[in-house]
Structure 1
Amino acid sequence: MLRHSASSSSSPIYTALARLTKFNSNGSKSSNRVLVQSRKTTIMSSSTSASSSPAAVPFENPRPVVKKLLSEAQSEGQGATVRRSIGRHELRNLDPFLMLDEFSVSKPAGFPDHPHRGFETVTYMLDGAFTHQDFSGHKGTIRTGDVQWMTAGRGIVHSEMPASDGVQKGLQLWINLAAKDKMIEPRYQELQSNDISCASQDGVDVRIIAGEAFGVRSPVYTRTPTMYMDFTMQPGSQLHQPIPAGWNAFVYIIEGEGVFGREKAAPTAAHHCLVLGADGDGLSVWNRSGAPLRFALAAGQPLKEPVVQHGPFVMNTRAEIQQAMEDYYHGRNGFEKAKQWTSA
């Protein structure tokens, strides 16, 4: 997704994209062949398997909430609106996570042609449909409940635009790649809604985008070990989801309100991002309201590497960022096709 704020010209994302656009207006660019992973192929995740347990069996030491951030609406892309949590100045990143946006977009707004290098984007549609197309000929539409897991690697130029009338809603998560993986060939993993692993226990339903819950595992391969899940909890239910030791984790509340971390904590409502502490067995949640609670849980193994970001490029050093900009400007090292390509 294009990190380009139309509301603030002082935004580092806006400045980076503006510079790229100005410099590259007559430049040459492109990317090597995109590898597409069939949604029907099952690939075991590289993530460490979290042990399964009943939803209602409490932990002796649940992870506490150590930071709470309300995601405020801001303009992005071309007329689009997002609620950003991770990626704001209050929470620049949460290793290995770089950004989380809850987007809400109607035609003709969207995220037109823009580049990426050095990380992955995970787009999860909550409602509506988005069409993705890139400079190597890959094109597809993801609809409510579908997931696109895109590994940008050494270079992608693509667009993401609404595919139907009305408001299109979803989450986009940026996951960093280790230095050894930043220049790999681009690839995709795409799952339709009915292909996503699901499980239910004790009034709790989960859609498992990556990782494992209630003994059920997602087919998605995570190059940076990651778990990513969509939970819906009925009134009166509780959840105790293991998280691998040493992984950073956060919750994003989509709908409703719940008690997170500690049983006596105050409830937290929708559009909040909750960062969990590093120590503890996992996430504990109680839904004491009279309505369903829906939230996303993400956790990942920290890379513990330097993060240098300039707009749509995320590398380990300033020299690598400069190289990425030059490659994009001059159409080389993964950006060879971009000059001849414009999205439909």
Structure 2
Amino acid sequence: MPLRKGCSFFNEPCLVAKKFLARPQHEGVGAVVRRSIGRFELKYFDPFLMLDEFSVTAPAGFPDHPHRGFETVTYMLQGAITHEDFEGHRGTVEAGDLQWMTAGRGIVHSEMPVAQGTQKGLQLWINLASKYKMIEPRYQEVLSKDIAEAEDDDGVKVRVIAGEAVGIKSPIFTRTPTMFLDFSLKPGGHLQQPIPKSWNAFVYILEGEGIFGSMKSQPSNSHHILLLGHGDGLEAWNKSSKLLRFILVGGEPLGEPIVQSGPFVMNTQEEIDQTIDDFENFTNGFEKARDWRSENKIN
């Protein structure tokens, strides 16, 4: 299916409002992440709580840890990781695969590399509205071969992880309305992608160098996050001689107060205190954490 081309069709294009480099930091046990959302420059970008580009080489990884009150989206770029949780769910997320986990009222899980070499991917945390924070945990998993793709004659390619692009809809159900698109632009490529005007949206560059928002903008390269101002669409150009790959993520703001304590995200301090009490005493959703330990261990 061809991507929409021609002159700009946006009434109010999204311009880049803020840009910064995601620098490496240590996380988990021996893992390295480039965190963009969720660090001191950008604590929260409603409804997005965190974005990590992670790099893990065994025996490093993310051993047993809890979550409550939001969703985690894991999109593998290279290699594979195994996921286990105290509900008995276990699976492997390989390159190009997607796992969309709703932690809801509580989950304890591990995410560990299963292959030799370096495993790379993205993990995005999406906040849940207060009415959904205590729902039962659930998973949506899509293999790489089942993720819809489209490419035009000029070499602009999109993988529709969540939401919709060029008439293609992802099967992923998002309680917080969200779009997650993986774009690749060959040299000379020009992209025009609509974005709901009321949403918050950002670009994270995985590879190469591109111009975003306006032809007058300075080029941006890999590991940079670009927060987009409000508008009804994004334009991007690849004026370089190499491939440009980036994700475009947007979501409808919740407009609710948040209180976060590490892997727990609620609306009030009282709810956080109760969550910590529930986890420490194995109650109210964390009952199975008392006796559960993942099979994958740090050597």
- When the two structures are superposed, what TM-score results if normalisation uses the length of structure 2? 0.96
User: How far off its partner does 1:53 sit?
Assistant: 6.5
Q: Which residue of 2 aligns with 1:110?
A: 61
* 1:145 matched to 2:145: no
Amino acid at match of 2:218: A
Question: Alignment partner of 2:63: what SS?
Answer: strand
User: 1:104·1:170 contact (CA, 8 Å) conserved in 2?
Assistant: yes
Question: Alignment partner of 2:25: what SS?
Answer: strand
- For residues 78-114 of structure 1, give each alpha carbon's deviation from its aligned partner in whole angstroms, at most 9, with x where no partner exists: 0000000000111001000000000000000000000
How many residues end up aligned between the 2 structures?
292
- For residues 213-232 of structure 1, give each alpha carbon's deviation from its aligned partner in whole angstroms, at most 9, with x where no partner exists: 11111110001000001000
Q: Which residue of 1 aligns with 2:291?
A: 340
Shift in CA distance, 300/97, structure 1 to aligned 2, threshold 3 Å: same
Question: Within 5 A, what are the aligned runs for 1:112-191?
Answer: 112-191=63-142
User: How far off its partner does 1:55 sit?
Assistant: 4.1
Q: Which residue of 1 aligns with 2:221?
A: 269
1:60 and 1:264 mapped to 2: Cα distance? Answer: 18
Structure 2: gaps of 5 or more residues:
none
User: How far off its partner does 1:187 sit?
Assistant: 0.2
Equivalent in 299, 302, 326 of residue 253 of structure 2: 302
User: 1:57·1:240 contact (CA, 8 Å) conserved in 2?
Assistant: no
1:332 and 1:90 mapped to 2: Cα distance? Answer: 35
Question: Alignment partner of 1:206: what SS?
Answer: strand
1:287 and 1:81 mapped to 2: Cα distance? Answer: 29
Equivalent in 202, 205, 215 of residue 250 of structure 1: 202
Amino acid at match of 2:159: R
User: 1:209·1:228 contact (CA, 8 Å) conserved in 2?
Assistant: yes
User: How far off its partner does 1:263 sit?
Assistant: 1.0
Amino acid at match of 2:235: S
User: 1:56·1:238 contact (CA, 8 Å) conserved in 2?
Assistant: no
* 1:326 matched to 2:277: yes
1:86 and 1:122 mapped to 2: Cα distance? Answer: 14
* 1:216 matched to 2:165: no
User: How far off its partner does 1:57 sit?
Assistant: 4.0
2:206 and 2:189 mapped to 1: Cα distance? Answer: 17
* 4+ residue segments displaced more than 4 Å: none
Shift in CA distance, 67/189, structure 1 to aligned 2, threshold 3 Å: same
Q: Which residue of 1 aligns with 2:25?
A: 74
* 1:54 matched to 2:54: no
* Farther-moved stretch of structure 1 (59-68 vs 291-300): 59-68
Instruction: Report the aligned-residue RMSD.
Output: 1.0
User: 2:3·2:151 contact (CA, 8 Å) conserved in 1?
Assistant: no
- When the two structures are superposed, what TM-score results if normalisation uses the length of structure 1? 0.84
Question: Alignment partner of 1:325: what SS?
Answer: helix
Question: Alignment partner of 1:327: what SS?
Answer: helix
Structure 1: gaps of 5 or more residues:
1-51
Amino acid at match of 2:236: V
Q: Which one has more relative contact order, counting CA pairs under 8 Å at least 6 apart?
A: 1
User: 2:180·2:250 contact (CA, 8 Å) conserved in 1?
Assistant: yes
1:56 and 1:166 mapped to 2: Cα distance? Answer: 43
Question: Alignment partner of 1:244: what SS?
Answer: coil
User: How far off its partner does 1:211 sit?
Assistant: 0.7
Question: Alignment partner of 2:139: what SS?
Answer: strand
Question: Alignment partner of 1:86: what SS?
Answer: coil
2:42 and 2:72 mapped to 1: Cα distance? Answer: 18
User: How far off its partner does 1:197 sit?
Assistant: 1.2
1:193 and 1:238 mapped to 2: Cα distance? Answer: 25
